[in-house]
């Protein structure tokens, strides 16, 4: 990553356990050698990503396994007054009522980003924090285990080991 980030760590129930900041932050997965057997019983070794991540903060390392970590780029602020809705109901009324057409249009919009709210939850489903923006999209980096990268109005948000929902703002305003 190489940018300034605020890293907030949570336990399985969504309680904050630590907050770390740094001017130069990077996140990497760790490969481990594993052994397996073919159907004929021959042993072989291969490499795969472990669940341990290494976080480098201004040249110093911190390793983490099992905790929920939210990496918010400096300047990306959470929604302080957001309350996760228990029920969302859509009443239609747009050209997107044709399912196949709406899927295609939404895929295109998702590629470039659209107005959305990101609700991050603990591993037990408790809402922790929400972020929103006018241009939100996500991607998965195969080199980072159990981590999703989101871009919110040009700022990066990495979510490691957490449940989350990304909701169109229009759906919350109906």
4, 21 in Cβ contact below 8 A? Answer: yes
pLDDT in tens, 47-89: 988 889 999 999 999 999 989 999 999 999 998 766 655 655 5
d(C-alpha 144, C-alpha 52), whole Å: 10
**Contact assessment for residue 76 and residue 155, using Cβ atoms and an 8 Å cutoff:** yes
Q: How far is CA 108 from the centre of its chain?
A: 20
CA atoms 15, 63, 49, 150: torsion sign:
positive
Query: Which pLDDT belongs to residue 9?
Result: 96
CA–CA dist 123, 129 (Å, integer): 13
As a residue count, the chain comes to 174
Say which residue the tokens 């309680």 belong to: 15
Whether 46 shows a pLDDT value over 80: the answer reads yes
């Amino acid at each position: 990553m190489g940018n300034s980030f605020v890293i907030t760590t949570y336990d399985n129930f969504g309680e904050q356990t630590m907050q770390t900041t740094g001017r130069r932050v990077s996140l990497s997965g760790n490969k481990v050698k594993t052994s397996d057997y073919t159907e004929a019983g021959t042993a072989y070794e291969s490499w795969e990503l472990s669940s341990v991540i290494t976080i480098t903060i201004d040249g110093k390392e911190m390793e983490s396994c099992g905790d929920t970590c939210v990496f918010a780029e400096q300047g990306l602020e959470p929604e302080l007054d957001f309350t996760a809705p228990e029920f969302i109901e859509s009443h239609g009324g747009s050209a997107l009522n044709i399912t196949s057409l709406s899927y295609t249009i939404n895929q295109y919009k998702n590629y470039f980003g659209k107005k959305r709210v990101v609700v991050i939850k603990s591993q037990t489903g408790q809402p922790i924090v929400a972020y929103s923006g006018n241009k939100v999209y996500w991607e998965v980096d195969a080199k980072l285990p159990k981590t999703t990268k989101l871009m919110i109005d040009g700022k990066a948000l990495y979510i490691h080991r957490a449940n989350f929902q990304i909701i169109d703002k229009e759906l919350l305003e109906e």
